[in-house]
Chain A
Amino acid sequence: MTRREPFGIVAVFATPGALESAARQLRALGFDSVEACTPYPVEDVGRSLHPGRNVLLPLLVMAAAVVGLAWGYFVQYWDAALDYPIDVGGRPYHSWPAFAVTTVETAALFAVAAAFFGLLASCRLPRLYHPIFEAAGFERASRDRFVLSVAAKDPGFEPNLIRRVLQRHGAERVEEVAGWR
């Protein structure tokens, strides 16, 4: 295993409001690697840290649905019209209305699967270890505390300035965290 490296500064707040104002000020000071970990989605924080719309995931799901649609139809066409044609009362082998139902089901399955795996990929999960887990009090970010972090890889990383900003906004605890790569 490689050595421990500085991860950044991690602050714990008691309310989403305090975290939000601290995050906004840090962003205004030019820090890019600011991230918040909260027990539930806090809309204002999300909007100020990650402005813009989430377009990639919906597009991925749409694309998967189209692929599912095509695949679902093709399999039935291959089955009933090409490879294993059975004459049922003279009905056409390529009976598209009968294929419609399962085509839609396949498209839905592909869409939901793309959404599921897209979520994991976009959140970089599964990742059982993350340096932020080393921060004291981080375990409460999944229930009643709001955690803000500024990564050390930020080009203008200035520990003292960041520390002051975080404390001014009422952080309960500010800590420099190092973790395994």
Chain B
Amino acid sequence: MTVAADPMVPPGNPPVVRPGLGLTSLSVEISSRVLSPRAPGWWWIGFGAGLALLLVLAVAVAWLFVNGIGVWGVNIPVAWGLAIAEYVWWIALASGGTIVSALFYLTRSPWRAATNRIAESMLLCAAASAGILPILHLGRPGLFYWLFVYPNTMDLWPQARSPLWWDFIALFCYILMSLMFYYVGLLPDLATVRDLATTRGKQVFYAVLALGWRGSARDWRNHKTVYAIMAAVMTPMVVSVHSIVGLDFAGGLTLGWHSTQFPPYFFFGAVISGTALVIVLTIFVRWGYGLYDLITGYHLNALGKVMLVGSLLLAYAYIWEAWGPFYGGDAAERTEFIDRISGFTAWQYWATIILDVAVPQLLWLPAVRASPTALASIAAGVMVGMWLERFVLVVASLHRNYMPAEWGDYVPTIWDWGIFAGSIGLFLTLFLLLLRFLPAVSLAEMRELIDKAAE
């Protein structure tokens, strides 16, 4: 009756599903969280905090629109500040959702079933937070639609050779693809909720969302085919999306940015920080909803290993980032790098190294991967570290460019921080809404696991 027969699970390790879990209890337990008229206390606390921060966003954006981006600390030479650093940060976090859900679908990893819904919800919310930042950073945000390709009376076309435009298209496509991928995975679970709903309003609401899904053998066959294709397309796409963000930088003739390693470097950052947020949210949801039967030590162990791999990849990129300036022999490159690690951004740089490279090495120890507290703390540290990395990356290069005459510092203002807090509020609000009104784990896939375990 246990999954120990699975060669993937060595004896003594926690199973993917606890043996007590059955088809009935799984559906009823998960759906009852969605259908319950009362949300738990922690949900209200989180949602309240999210709404409060969203209010901060509204005020900060309103102030920005009234006064222009002069209210931020950005100026020449440091014309890209927190908004761009956070944009990159959020995109990396969003990418983690696709890595966990699409990549590990293709590898047929059994732990993916209980975590992919959380990861994908996180993806969509993080992408929303990421998406608003470059638009706010435009001097004239109302004209952002000029980036779309469409025939217009102004006879304007976007610049197709610019990485910034590639980035816009890539992100636009990525969000749409993620939405469709999410919905396809959600469809059978919406039918479960529909069939368990007891009040008329909820029945109609979920019936419309479920589009009349019946789960016939033909439907399942099409569903499996389509889902596998989507996962196979999404996996390379997530690599490309964050790589293109890297090209935004690599395409600029700026010290520290103009490097061929940027696309993979950025993707490595997505692996570690995206997994970190998945870990934090998984542990949080498991605690909040008490899903200890579904999300076991097996999942945390696996996620911890993915984060460790991300950390090693990132360490590799950091080594090359430091190697380049000294090997290349360009005095300006060297000056910029030495300033980066010992000057204006020194503490942020070294904090990044400690939080993203040194501390995650603890994940080699199985005991650390087995402890939710340790894992969540390391993951939170990784996210802080990645934020600092993006800050150093954006600011250090701009503030020590080629000409000493154009050197300058950057200090974020309260409005920069307001946008940052607000983007977290937007994420938190959206994520908690999805968590409240949609099943938190993929029920159809969990049933397959339970079925396999019962054999």
Contact = CB atoms under 8 A, between A and B. Distances in A.
Interface of A: 16, 35-42, 45-46, 49-50, 54, 57-58, 61, 75-76, 79-80, 83-84, 86, 88, 91, 95, 98-99, 101-102, 104-106, 108-109, 111-113, 115-116, 118-120, 122-123, 125-130, 132-133, 139-144
Interface in B414-455: 443-445, 447-448, 451
Contacts of A41: 220-221, 223-224, 444, 448
Nearest to B174: A105
A123 B214 CA distance: 9
Contacts of B173: 105-106, 108-109
Size category of the binding interface on chain B: 35 or more
B191 interface: yes
7 contacts: A37-B215, A49-B217, A49-B218, A50-B221, A101-B166, A108-B177, A112-B180
A128 B221 contact: no
B216 interface: yes
Decide if the interface of chain A is mainly helix, strand, loop or mixed: helix
Contact of B161 (A16, A98, A140): A98
B61 interface: no
Given A80-B161, A109-B173, A35 B451 contact: no
Interface string B151-166: 0000111111100011
The 8 tightest CB contacts between A and B, nearest first, are A143-B27, A126-B211, A40-B447, A144-B23, A41-B220, A139-B195, A84-B157, A109-B173
Given A54-B222, A112-B233, A125 B447 contact: no
Given A40-B447, A80-B161, A112-B234, A35 B23 contact: no
A108 B237 contact: yes
> Which of B156, B160, B166 has the largest count of A CB atoms less than 10 A from its CB?
B160
Decide if the interface of chain B is mainly helix, strand, loop or mixed: helix
B169 interface: yes
Given A41-B223, A76-B160, A79-B157, A144 B445 contact: no
B225 to A, nearest CB: 5
B361 interface: no
Contacts of B181: 112
Contact of B216 (A37, A102, A109): A37
B177 A109 contact: yes
A129 B421 CA distance: 45
Interface string B23-56: 1101110000000000000000000000000000
Interface string B137-178: 000000000000100000111111100011001100110110
Contact of B169 (A105, A119, A129): A105
B323 interface: no
A92 to B, nearest CB: 10
B184 A119 contact: yes
B160 A79 contact: yes
B229 interface: yes
B230 A115 contact: yes
Given A38-B220, A102-B166, A125-B213, A116 B184 contact: yes
Contact of A104 (B24, B192, B212, B240): B240
Nearest to B237: A108
Given A143-B23, A144-B27, 6 more contacts: A36-B217, A39-B192, A102-B169, A108-B233, A142-B27, A143-B28
B218 A35 contact: yes
Interface in B364-382: none
B229 A115 contact: yes
Given A41-B448, A125-B211, A102 B160 contact: yes
A136 B298 CA distance: 39
B331 interface: no
B399 interface: no
Contact of B447 (A39, A46, A49): A39
A126 B27 CA distance: 23
A176 B216 CA distance: 18
A103 B247 CA distance: 16
Given A79-B157, A142-B195, A144-B22, A40 B214 contact: no
B155 A79 contact: no
Contacts of B22: 144
A29 to B, nearest CB: 18
Contacts of A113: 176-177, 180
B287 interface: no
A86 B159 CA distance: 8
B226 A118 contact: yes
Nearest to B211: A126
Contacts of A83: 155, 157
A76 B166 CA distance: 11
B430 to A, nearest CB: 21
B220 A46 contact: yes
B222 A57 contact: yes
Contacts of A16: 451
